[in-house]
A and B are shown apart, each in its own frame.
Chain A
Amino acid sequence: MSTPRTALVRLVAGREISVKLRDKGFLASTAVFIAIIVLAVVVPVMLEGDTPEYTVAATGHAGAVAEVAVELGGAEVPGLPAADITVIGLEDPTAGAGGDPVDEAFLRGADAVLSSDPDGTVVITAQENVPGDLEELIAAASSAVTAQDVAVEAGLSADQLAALTSPPQPRIDLLDPKPSLPVPPELVIVIFGFLFYFTVLTFGASIAQSVVEEKTSRVVEILVAAVPVRWLLAGKVLGNAAMALGQVVLIVGAGLVGAQAIGEGDIVAQVLGVSGWFLAFFVLGFLMLACLWAVAGSLASRIEELQSTTLYMQLAVMTPFFSAILIRDEGPARVALSYFPLTAPLMMPARVATGDAAAWEPWVAMVIVSATAVLLIGVGARLYSGSVLNTSTRTRLGGAWAAGGRA
């Protein structure tokens, strides 16, 4: 009988996955994450999304101002807010049922009533306050109307008038243009950085915990008698890696679907463009660190000891996260960190996202991280075999290394 190695690894991985899928804490945190991402994408757009609608009653000279305000509100003029303004006439007091025409206008739903002083100043009458957007538009309309009146009096031609009311904007010439992005790349980096940090930390801890659990419950003794230790390690790491990647894809995917649904397709395009590198580095970085988490777990003999054996692992995860977030300016430090194996999984895709990395750079970093992962997986497997059967005391690194060599 030959031992079906891949089937065994798959079985071990399958158990890890089914345990995770039944872990209420894991399910809850995933749901919360998805909800947060979707809300973060959808809510700001919903808040700013709708063009405000206003109803304005105008009389006399102010009627012209109101008409211009309507135009300005609908024209999306740079520097001016957009608004959907409806103008209603201010009724003649003699024609109505009596009473004040201004009160009458408010009863009919007007947000403001425009009138003009004898000297031509536009007066905005409102009940409690004038909406900021509306006030801005009316102010702009008023000065435009005034400028036009003055120009007509001065006998300026239409072209001259146009030059006066809308002077030509300066043209911008960029020598080294950055692509204009709907989402600031820094934000993308923080989001992916946080996802990486969170995922490696939670799944790393869960790998370590699963190892200790097998040690404390002594199942490992039955398993080790029948399955090579390395295969156990491989199954554990792969099972958790699959879950981790699945969770990240789900969270990012939920965010993208949300963005697509509210019509922010350009966000989707931008994030999809860089997420390839983030995900590729994510997988490698996760595999690289996951084995070490398993080792950290196998060095402990009880759950309580995990805190101390995983301390360095927590540092190994926090360092890349904070460096990716804090070191934003391109420079020698950032370049160096984008090649250093521990920080590369975040730094290199970050540099790609900000457009600072040449096309070949992520490939080189990828090779470096892969090589490190292979090395660390080997080291981790040896330490794991040397320590996983020691169920009585905390294992020292040196002892585990020596014992792993014999196993």
Chain B
Amino acid sequence: MTDATLAVQGLTHDFGQRRALDDVSFEVRPGRLTGFVGANGAGKTTTMRAIVGVLRPDAGTVTFGGASMTLEVRRRIGYMPEERGLYPKMKVAEQLVYLARVLGVTKDDAQARAASLLEGLDLAERRDDLLHTLSLGNQQRVQVAAALIHEPDLLILDEPFSGLDPIAMDAMAERLRDRAAAGVPVLFSSHQLDLVERLCDDLVVIHHGRVVAAGDARALREQRAGRRYRVDVGGTDAWMPALAGMTVVGSGPEGTLVDLDESADPQALLAAAQAAGPVEHFARTVPSLAELFAEVVR
């Protein structure tokens, strides 16, 4: 496959009178982690279900590497549904082997992969326990293993981090990075914006069924950054520059925030700051993902 990009094009879906998805379009590029953020009920899960073919949207198309999502293509997706789903009364390893075989993996391969995944997730000694005897966190790890068991070409993970402790979260992030590095497009939704910010290469923000921002995460934030600078002059708590085209929007122990209009030169601000004392910090501020999110969904 030369271009393993997942393309979502114009997805629209109604639940009765309510429009759940409204012309949703975005791409998930190979080798990149794409974070999918939005408030509860914004349409994340519906979009993911439409991608994996569990839900048939009223309109719109999904393609993977240019091909439509036939059964053969869908069987190459690693999917983790929002509400976790495994057989509670089946043994952990047996369950993984069964799912792998349903997805077309041979019995020997399935057993080998189940063993190595469980090993990697620190669950090797629980392999013959019934799933429902495991703690929720451990069940969650088995769910991760279930999504990875057939070495999928595409990962669609709905809230993969919810319910994980910080250590498991790091392990999970590591795993997703691995898969992305292997060239697999990874789409995952999360409410934990700091985590998404730290992890993601690309971002899709959805609000009330519409995509309000999509693309390279860094670029999106830069775009919204504007011309706000933070200046921290050592020794002064409240340095208040009075320069043409500049407005002080706040000051505090972290320094002074200054908005520059189109004509103002940031270098003039720096020069003024240096004249006032030793400059400890001078930079354009980029909004955090939380700020960006708050802004785009407003």
Identify the A interface with B (CB < 8 A): 1-4, 8, 11-12, 15, 19, 213-214, 217-228, 389, 391, 406-407
Shortest C-beta distance, A317 to chain B (Å), equals: 26
Q: Are B74 and A226 in contact (CB under 8 A)?
A: yes
Q: Which chain B residues lie closer than 8 Å to A19 at the CB level? A: 89-90
Question: Are B86 and A223 closer than 8 Å at their CB atoms?
Answer: no
When distances are taken between beta carbons in the complex, the residues of chain B under 8 Å from A225 are: 52-54, 74, 77, 79
Bound Cα distance A229, B101 (Å):
17
Inter-chain contacts of B71 with A (CB < 8 A): 3, 226, 228
Interface size class of B (residues with CB under 8 A): 20 to 34
Is A217's CB under 8 angstroms from B86's CB? yes
The residue from B49, B85, B90, B104 contacting A220, defined by CB atoms under 8 A apart: B85
The 0/1 profile, CB within 8 Å of A marked 1, for residues 242-255 of chain B is: 00000000000000
Whether B99 lies near A222 (C-beta < 8 A) is: yes
Contacts A3-B71, A225-B77; is A218 near B85 (CB within 8 Å)? yes
Interface string of B112-142 (1 = CB under 8 A from A): 0000000000000000000000000000000
Contact A226 B98, beta carbon cutoff 8 Å:
no
B residues contacting A by CB (< 8 A) are 49, 52-56, 71-72, 74-75, 77, 79, 81, 83-90, 98-99, 101-104, 146
Residues of B within 8 A of A406 (CB): 56
A89 to chain B, nearest CB (A): 75
Using Cβ atoms and an 8 Å threshold, which residues of chain B touch A227?
Answer: 102
B235–chain A nearest beta-carbon distance, Å: 60
Q: Chain A residues near B99 (CB, 8 Å)?
A: 222
B85, A1: Cβ atoms closer than 8 Å:
no
Q: Is B81's CB under 8 angstroms from A221's CB? A: yes
Question: Does B103 lie within 8 Å of A3, measured CB to CB?
Answer: no
Question: Which of B55, B81, B101 is most buried by chain A, counting CB atoms within 10 A of its CB?
Answer: B81
A4's partner among B52, B74, B104 (CB-CB below 8 A) is B104
Smallest Cβ distance from A386 to chain B, in angstroms?
A: 11
Complex Cα gap A226–B85 (Å)? 14
**Taking A3-B75, A228-B71, A389-B54 as contacts, is the C-beta distance between A222 and B85 under 8 angstroms?**
yes
Shortest CB–CB separation between residue B197 and chain A, in angstroms?
29
Report how far A198 CA is from B61 CA in the complex, Å: 48
Query: If A3-B75, A217-B85, A221-B85 touch, does A15 touch B98 (CB 8 Å cutoff)?
Result: yes
Q: Is the CB of B87 within 8 A of A222?
A: no
In the assembled complex, which residues on chain B have CB atoms less than 8 Å from the CB atom of A217? Answer: 85-88
A-B contact pairs, 20 of them (CB 8 A): A1-B104, A3-B71, A12-B102, A15-B98, A19-B89, A19-B90, A213-B88, A217-B86, A217-B87, A219-B87, A221-B49, A222-B79, A222-B81, A222-B85, A225-B52, A225-B53, A225-B54, A226-B71, A226-B77, A407-B56
Q: Are A219 and B53 in contact (CB under 8 A)?
A: no
Residue of B83, B84, B87 touching A391 (CB-CB under 8 A):
B83
Q: How far is the CA of A218 from the CA of B159 in the complex (A)?
A: 15
- Complex Cα–Cα for A221 and B45 (A): 12
Please indicate the chain B residues that have their CB under 8 angstroms from the CB of A407 in the complex.
56
Complex formed: what's the CA distance from A172 to B90 in Å? 66
From A3, A222, A223, B72 is in contact (CB under 8 Å) with: A3
Contacting residues, chain B, for A391 (C-beta < 8 A): 83
Report the bound CA distance from A227 to B100 in whole Å: 12
Establish whether residues B53 and A223, one from each chain, have CB atoms under 8 Å apart when the complex forms: no
**Quick one: closest A residue to B131, CB to CB?**
A217
Contacts of B53 in A (CB 8 A): 224-225
Q: CB distance B74 to A219 under 8 Å?
A: no
How far is the CB of B47 from the nearest CB of chain A, in Å? 14
Question: What is the chain A residue whose CB lies nearest that of B83?
Answer: A218
Give the residue name and chain of the B residue nearest to A18 (CB). Answer: B94
Contact B102 A226 (CB under 8 A): yes
Q: Smallest CB–CB gap between A389 and chain B, Å?
A: 6
Q: Which 8 A-B pairs have the closest CB atoms?
A: A218-B85, A225-B52, A221-B81, A219-B85, A218-B83, A226-B75, A225-B79, A225-B54
A213 and B75 contact, Cβ closer than 8 Å, known pairs A11-B102, A227-B102: no
CA A11 – CA B99 in complex, angstroms? 10
A11-B98, A222-B81, A389-B54 known; 9 new pairs, CB 8 Å cut-off, are A1-B72, A3-B75, A19-B90, A217-B85, A217-B86, A220-B85, A221-B79, A222-B86, A225-B54
